[in-house]
Amino acid sequence: MDIRTIGKTPLAVTQFGFGGAAIGGLYRECTQEAAMETLQAAWDAGMHYFDTAPFYGFGLSERRTGDFLRSKPRETYVLSTKVGRLLRPVPEDQVPDYSYVNPLPFTVDYDYSYDGIMRSFEFSYARLGLNKIDILYVHDIGVYTHGVEKNAIYQRQLLDSGMRALDELKSSGAISAYGLGVNEVEVCLDVIARHPIDCILLAGRYSLLDRSAERGLLEVCRKQQISLVIGGVFNSGILATGPVAGANFDYGPASDDILGRVRAMQKIAEANSIPLAAAAMQFPLREPVVANVLIGTAKASSLTRNMELLKVDVPDAVYAAVEPFTIP
């Protein structure tokens, strides 16, 4: 699998990587055995970049990712996790519902300060059981997650002291790169205007369907040599399932407008005898500033099926034909 570098750093990642939310039990239970089988399928497919987070299963994804990678030579993979949430133990009946099935018995507290980021980093070491983390992403900063008033507080924490923690970790060699892991474009532009970063893990905003990143972010990333890692390439599922009843978009049921857009896209794909999911997987890497596309699943069979889609030749004409139906 081809590799691309992260920003101005010497760090290089495979063009496709493994996203660890599903092995933390997102939406449905994932057993330890299934998690290990899926991680092994990703490794065998050539995906040697692994992304996880404390939030995924409240520590479960980090533990499983570390269990898998511990036997691999350290120079053969790149690992990223996230900061911004601290886990706190609670009784089982007080574990919050964030759509994780059978998570570990913790709740989450937001903390984007210097101390919060340093504590989160150290706790991730312990959960992973590893002594090196390559990339840290500031997780879910922004109005999309917090709303206007709370985000103003958290963003102040990050800019006033949290970024200093990330700078210190990078300058000491504890990490090789840092950036944002978010679901919105606006906060990326806001933070970049105030502090340099290496990369952005952007979920669902630079896809075959949703082109929000084209509203200024791509241009800024090109100028400042900030790499994009793209998550949510299927926009919560609809670009994989097609516009079927119950299809999801952006973590919820797809609207009639979205169903109509995807229906039109699917007709174009079918007319060219290609799966719509193949075009969705391959689309982001047409942009040179995109370093990686993350694929997240809790089933080895799904991972293998998705990787088969990379063998499909998607003509440029297909991308041009679907563009009028995208969310600009």
Convert the pLDDT of each residue in 128-153 to its tens digit: 999 999 999 999 999 999 999 999 99
User: Active-site residue 114, yes or no?
Assistant: no
Helices (H) and strands (E) in the chain, counts: 12, 14
Q: Give 174-223 pLDDT, tens digit per residue.
A: 999 999 999 999 999 999 999 999 999 999 999 999 999 999 999 999 99
Kindly state the average pLDDT of the residues 115-137.
Answer: 98
Marked catalytic residue, from 56, 100, 112, 178: 56
pLDDT at residue 259 above 80?
A: yes
User: Active-site residue 251, yes or no?
Assistant: no
Kindly state the average pLDDT of the residues 8-32.
Answer: 97
Q: In which band, very low, low, confident or very high, does the pLDDT at 1 lie, cut at 50, 70 and 90?
A: confident
Marked catalytic residue, from 49, 67, 72, 82: 82
Give me the phi and psi of 167, to 5 degrees please: -60, -45
Q: Are 54 and 81 in contact (CB under 8 A)?
A: yes
- Average pLDDT of every residue of the chain: 97
The pLDDT, as a whole number, for residue 40 is: 98
The pLDDT, as a whole number, for residue 328 is: 73
Sign of the dihedral through C-alpha 253, 110, 181, 47: negative
Give me the phi and psi of 299, to 5 degrees please: -130, 125
Kindly state the average pLDDT of the residues 160-168.
Answer: 98
The pLDDT, as a whole number, for residue 86 is: 98
User: Active-site residue 82, yes or no?
Assistant: yes
**β-pairing verdict for 227-231 and 177-182:** unpaired
Q: Tell me which amino acid residue 217 is.
A: L
The pLDDT, as a whole number, for residue 225 is: 98
Q: Which fold would CATH assign to domain 3-325? A: TIM Barrel (3.20.20)
The pLDDT, as a whole number, for residue 202 is: 98
| In the chain, where the domains are located | 3-325
Give me the phi and psi of 194, to 5 degrees please: -115, -20
Marked catalytic residue, from 51, 134, 140, 190: 51
DSSP 3-state of 297: coil
Residue 203, H or E segment:
strand 199-203
Using a 10 angstrom Cβ sphere, with 0-12 exposed, 13-18 middle and 19 or more buried, the burial of residue 327 is middle
pLDDT at residue 263 above 90?
A: yes
